[in-house]
A and B are shown apart, each in its own frame.
Chain A
């Protein structure tokens, strides 16, 4: 199994809603990532989990709250989002976040979020 699975594929939410994006991988990878991608732009790193601990938070607003329940799962909890938060949210994983990491990221297909 070389897949990163993301659900839901599409999500529409109001600014007062609370929702969650989910990501799952069964490759035994120990690093998991959340990226945000706006249309026609490259992915922008949001969070990195290394061995189930948050290791990088790229100054992401607190209305985005990541969670890593175990080594296979990564969630992104959403609350009080703004319309400008509408984007494709990509989850990725890599084998090892250490210095000898090849850097190869395995991406999911993304969750397309629309905030009304």
Chain B
């Protein structure tokens, strides 16, 4: 499939501030998107997902926004905590094309105390 990319490789935020991690995708046929968090020495962990028929989905302290017009995905983390420090990957999937996830390049989030 086509690649999913990210705007910023590293994002540094102050503890308590909100974080926004961005992702641009290129496959206009993608219909499902996921954000994963990968802490050092661990495997990726599911955070939140969104389908292409939605433009916003909220979880606990996290919100994913989808703009299909410009093929842009973002992850917003409210009141960022030190435990949020990790690499965040977006991934997309086209359900009629093998149902396989394509991961983006990753953004490292660093939370300053």
A residues lining the B interface (CB < 8 Å): 4, 40-45, 48, 56, 90, 92, 97-110
A103 touches B49 (CB 8 A): yes
Nearest to A110 among chain B residues (CB) is B43
A42 touches B105 (CB 8 A): yes
Q: Given that A42-B89, A42-B105, A90-B44 are known contacts, is A104 also in contact with B95, CB under 8 Å in the complex? A: no
B43 touches A92 (CB 8 A): yes
Within 8 A of A (CB), among B37-51: 41-46, 49
Q: Complex formed: what's the CA distance from A100 to B95 in Å?
A: 8
Q: How far is the CB of B75 from chain A (nearest CB, A)?
A: 15
Given contacts A42-B89, A98-B99, 12 further A-B contacts (CB under 8 A): A40-B106, A42-B104, A42-B105, A45-B101, A56-B100, A97-B99, A99-B95, A99-B99, A101-B99, A103-B91, A103-B93, A104-B34
Q: Complex formed: what's the CA distance from A105 to B101 in Å?
A: 9
B100 touches A109 (CB 8 A): no
| Interface class of chain B by DSSP | loop
B46 touches A105 (CB 8 A): yes
Q: Given that A40-B106, A42-B89 are known contacts, is A109 also in contact with B42, CB under 8 Å in the complex? A: yes
A45 touches B105 (CB 8 A): no
Q: Complex formed: what's the CA distance from A93 to B21 in Å?
A: 26
Nearest to B44 among chain A residues (CB) is A107
A and B contact pairs by CB, cutoff 8 A, 12 listed: A40-B106, A42-B91, A42-B105, A44-B103, A45-B101, A56-B98, A92-B43, A97-B99, A98-B99, A100-B95, A101-B99, A103-B34
Within 8 A of A (CB), among B94-113: 95-96, 98-101, 103-106
Q: Given that A102-B49, A103-B93 are known contacts, is A43 also in contact with B44, CB under 8 Å in the complex? A: yes
A48 touches B100 (CB 8 A): yes
Name the 7 nearest CB pairs between A and B, nearest first.
Answer: A107-B43, A42-B103, A103-B93, A107-B44, A109-B43, A104-B46, A109-B42
